[in-house]
């Protein structure tokens, strides 16, 4: 038994070593995924904290749903005919690990609205009768062709407002409030030149009438359109309206407009949303071609875009959203109309970087308050103790190492901090510190008790 195990482990060892020898090439992050590194992550944290603060002022609470879900959720919730479900999802058959389990098809979430509505149904959030105002921040996954502003793992900051009819979830004031909140958020983040485009895609009964009219209008002309649009004309004619193919624009512009197919209720709803936006002074453009790619949208749909040259390349949609009055029922839940949006956080960051540096380069790191340089390794422990005291007082501090020469300490400190604190034998004996302020070049020797006020 013993020898057996020893032989086994030796052979495993050799197997491991020979695999290692074969794999000398470096393992890299998967295509379409990225590492976010400091100092750029400071900007991500800033964006998220501004978003959290704005959402809190409007009464939103955070929801965190799982990153993978039953594939059925997206097939039913997002729609089989959408690009997302038909070709972009990361789906796998998850094997059973025990007899009590069944193997199951799972999918990395390509968006978060379906997950939030699933959670709303599962936890019976509508039962108390009040409006649910939820927000999320997290990664989403789509197998798209990667380019600037388009990744296979990307982040969304999103919001969902939903509830039973009695909670007022269907009211146009909810649509306008969500749009006004977005305008506030983008302004507080300092995004310049954003544009709000919106449209109404009508109710669940308006849409089929419009789709039928579109099919009819497309039938005699589709053979003259690009391959993508020929396919869309068959599978999902609404998507033809999204097309940017230049050669097809004259055909698309002549297609019927959804505005002419809205019933009175949808028309009044949309007019009320626009009136509330006017009252708040939020500027917008009605874009009759804006229908968006997901199947669940009803009535108000919208997008915020930024001008060309904002750092997004050809991907100028910063965020998108709309109303989804029938989604809960599509997922087997109670009637729960709602409206939401998802901001592409990666794109928000690209724009802010472009605005800050003009080059799209990451913004420089914030400097620390101080860098402590112990003179000789015997001073290392005291340096760490002083750092602990200053850090506990809320200052940001880096500690060098006693083996560094003075010149090296100065160079290291100048890169990361506004001050250098030199701790030598004399300073320790007299409870003092020598401090140089890089901005002024001024150097003083002060009591350690005065350090905090000088560093602030």
Length of the chain: 456
Segment near ligand AMP (CB under 6 A), from 9-17, 67-75, 118-126, 344-352? Answer: 344-352
**Least distance (Å) from ligand AMP to the CB of residue 140?**
7
Using CB under 6 A as the binding rule, whether residue 299 contacts ligand AMP is answered as: no
Q: Is 302 in the site for ligand AMP (CB under 6 A)?
A: no
Rule CB under 6 A: choose which of 186, 319, 351, 435 binds ligand AMP. Answer: 319
Pick from 111, 206, 295, 353 the residue near ligand AMP by CB under 6 A. Answer: 111
Residue 151 interacting with ligand AMP (CB under 6 A):
yes
- Smallest gap from residue 149 Cβ to ligand AMP (A): 6
Q: Of residues 63, 273, 318, 375, which one binds ligand AMP by CB under 6 A? A: 318
Using CB under 6 A as the binding rule, whether residue 344 contacts ligand AMP is answered as yes
Closer residue to ligand AMP (CB): 222 or 347: 347
> Which of 291/387 has CB closer to ligand AMP?
291
Output the residue with the shortest Cβ distance to ligand AMP: 344
Q: Is 317 in the site for ligand AMP (CB under 6 A)?
A: yes
144 scored as a contact of ligand AMP (CB under 6 A): yes
Minimum CB distance to ligand AMP smaller for 44 or for 371? 44
If one asks whether residue 347 binds ligand AMP (CB under 6 A), the answer comes out as yes
Asked if residue 109 binds ligand AMP (CB under 6 A), the reply is no
Q: Which of 54, 342, 417, 422 binds ligand AMP (CB under 6 A)?
A: 342
CB 197 within 8 A of CB 302: yes
Residue count, binding to ligand AMP (CB under 6 A) = 16
Q: Of 342 and 433, which has the nearer Cβ to ligand AMP?
A: 342
Q: For residues 142 and 232, which CB has a smaller minimum distance to ligand AMP in the complex?
A: 142
Which region among 65-73, 147-155, 242-250, 273-281 touches ligand AMP (by CB under 6 A)?
147-155
Using CB under 6 A as the binding rule, whether residue 115 contacts ligand AMP is answered as: no
Nearer to ligand AMP, 54 or 291 (CB): 291
**Quick check: 135 binds ligand AMP (CB under 6 A)?**
no
Within 225-284, the residues that bind ligand AMP by CB under 6 A are none
Tell me the three-class secondary structure of the chain, residue by residue.
CHHHHHHHHHHHHHHHHHHHHHCCCCCCCCCCCCCCCCCHHHHHHHHHHHHHHHHHHCCCEECCCCCEEEHHHHHHHHHCCCHHHHHHCCEEEECCCCCCCCCEEEEECCCCHHHHHHHHHHCCCCCCCCCEEEEEEEEEECCCCCECCECCEEEEEEEEEECCHHHCCCCHHHHHHHHHHHHHHHHHHCCCCCEEEEEECCCCCHHHHHHHHHHHHHCCCHHHCCHHHHHHHHHCHHHHHHCCCHHHHHHHHCCCCHHHHCCHHHHHHHHHHHHHHHHHCCCCEECCCCCCCCCCCEEEEEEEECCCCCCCCCCCEEEEEEECCCHHHHCCCCCCCEEEEEEEHHHHHHHHHHHHHCCCCCCCCCCEEEEEEECCHHHHHHHHHHHHHHHHCCCCEEECCCCCCHHHHHHHHHHHEEEEEEECHHHHHCCEEEEEECCCCCEEEEEHHHHHHHHC
Residues of this chain that interact with ligand AMP (CB under 6 A) are 111, 142, 144, 149-151, 154, 156, 317-320, 342, 344, 346-347
């Amino acid at each position: 038994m013993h020898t057996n195990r020893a032989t086994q482990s030796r052979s495993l060892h050799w197997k491991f070593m020979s695999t290692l020898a074969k794999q000398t090439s470096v393992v890299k992050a998967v295509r379409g995924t990225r590492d976010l590194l400091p100092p750029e992550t400071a900007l991500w944290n800033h964006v998220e904290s501004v978003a959290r603060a704005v959402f809190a002022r409007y009464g939103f609470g955070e929801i965190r749903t799982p990153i993978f879900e039953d594939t059925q959720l997206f097939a039913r919730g997002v729609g089989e005919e959408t690009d997302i479900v038909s070709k972009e999802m990361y789906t796998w058959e998850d094997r059973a690990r025990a007899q009590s389990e069944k193997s199951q098809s799972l999918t990395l979430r390509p968006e978060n609205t379906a997950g939030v509505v699933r959670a709303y149904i599962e936890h019976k959030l509508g039962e108390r009768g009040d409006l649910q105002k939820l927000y999320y921040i997290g990664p989403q996954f789509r197998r798209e062709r990667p380019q600037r502003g388009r990744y296979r793992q990307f982040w969304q900051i999103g919001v969902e407002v939903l509830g039973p009819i009695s909670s007022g979830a269907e009211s146009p004031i909810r649509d306008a409030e969500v749009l006004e909140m977005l305008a506030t958020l983008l302004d507080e983040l300092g995004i310049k030149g954003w544009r709000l485009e919106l449209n109404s895609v009508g109710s669940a009964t308006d849409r089929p009438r419009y789709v039928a009219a579109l099919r009819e209008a497309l039938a005699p002309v589709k053979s003259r359109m690009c391959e993508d649009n020929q396919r869309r004309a068959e599978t999902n004619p609404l998507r033809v309206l999204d097309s940017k193919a230049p050669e097809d624009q004259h055909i698309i512009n002549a297609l019927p407009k959804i505005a002419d197919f809205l019933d009175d209720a949808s028309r009044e709803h949309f007019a009320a949303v626009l009136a509330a936006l006017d009252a708040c002074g939020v500027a917008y453009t009605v874009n009759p071609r804006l229908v968006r790619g997901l199947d669940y949208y009803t009535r108000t749909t919208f997008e915020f875009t930024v001008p060309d040259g904002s750092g997004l390349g050809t991907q100028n949609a910063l965020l998108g959203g709309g109303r989804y009055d029938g989604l809960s029922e599509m997922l087997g839940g109670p009637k729960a109309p709602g409206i939401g949006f998802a901001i592409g956080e990666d794109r928000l960051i690209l724009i802010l970087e472009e605005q800050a540096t003009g080059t799209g380069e990451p913004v420089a790191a914030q400097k620390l308050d101080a860098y402590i340089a112990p003179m000789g390794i015997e001073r290392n422990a005291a340096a760490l103790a002083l750092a602990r005291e200053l850090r506990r007082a809320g200052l940001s501090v880096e500690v060098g190492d006693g083996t560094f020469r003075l010149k090296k300490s100065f160079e290291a400190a100048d890169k990361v901090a506004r001050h250098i604190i030199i701790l030598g034998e004399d300073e320790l004996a007299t409870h003092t510190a020598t401090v140089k302020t890089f901005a002024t070049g001024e150097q003083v020797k002060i009591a350690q008790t005065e350090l905090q006020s000088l560093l602030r």
